[in-house]
Amino acid sequence: MKRVAEIKRKTKETDIECKINLDGTGEYKISTGIGFLDHMIEQLSKHSACDIFLKAKGDLHIDSHHTTEDIGYVIGKALSEALSDRKGINRFASSYAPMDETLTRVVIDLSGRPFLVWKVFFTQTKLGDMDLELFKEFFQALSQSLGANLHVENIYGVNNHHIIESCYKALALSIKNAIKISEKLKNKVPSTKGKLINDGE
């Protein structure tokens, strides 16, 4: 069974199309209208080995908030749909990603219950034209639509570019390991509940 998904989401603020293949090789084609965000999603694709094709148009004449947040939501939803009932996956993963003077840890549980812990601090408010506070909104939206308990902690770092890029790389590595099919689990859901889909229970 192929673990793929295609999501289209259009509102008055954004128009987004996303295709994901969980068992790809990290191929990507990303166009968001926000150069630095393109670069981060490319990192997410490459280091998770998930193929991601994403095209987004948003109300960038206002700012980057709606576009960044909605892209996080759409990518998370695509990942969730591609995972289907989540049978056989490792479910849990933790990864460290260094980048020069920076080290970040991301721990993920594909539990179906979204929750974000964000311990990332920057020394400025912007990186180029990008408001750095928007990256928390991306991770929050991704956690919500993916149904993931996500802990992101920058352990140390100085350069803001390095800090956020290490967050995306650590996220990618954790996703790569969490979605991997376990030979021991095979067709079993890794939960005593018998399911990993959040339906309000």
**Using CA atoms, how far apart are residues 104 and 172, in angstroms rounded to an integer?**
12
Q: What is the pLDDT averaged over residues 146-159?
A: 97
> What is the value of pTM for the model shown?
0.94
For residue range 96-113, list pLDDT tens digits in order. 999 999 999 999 999 999
Position 41 in a domain: yes
For residue range 28-73, list pLDDT tens digits in order. 999 999 999 999 999 999 999 999 999 999 999 999 999 999 999 9
pLDDT at position 190: 64
Alpha carbon 186 to its chain's center: 24
- What's the CATH number where 51 sits? 3.30.230.40
For residue 140, how many other CB atoms are within 10 A of its CB?
Answer: 19
- 156 pLDDT above the threshold of 70: yes
Domain count for the chain: 1
Position 9 in a domain: yes
- 186 pLDDT above the threshold of 80: no
Position 197 in a domain: no
Position 193 in a domain: no
pLDDT at position 131: 95
Position 184 in a domain: no
Which pLDDT band holds residue 197 (cuts at 50, 70, 90)? low
Q: What is the pLDDT averaged over residues 166-170?
A: 98
Mean per-residue pLDDT of the chain: 94
pLDDT at position 183: 81
pLDDT at position 192: 57
Domain with 17, as residue range(s), is 4-178
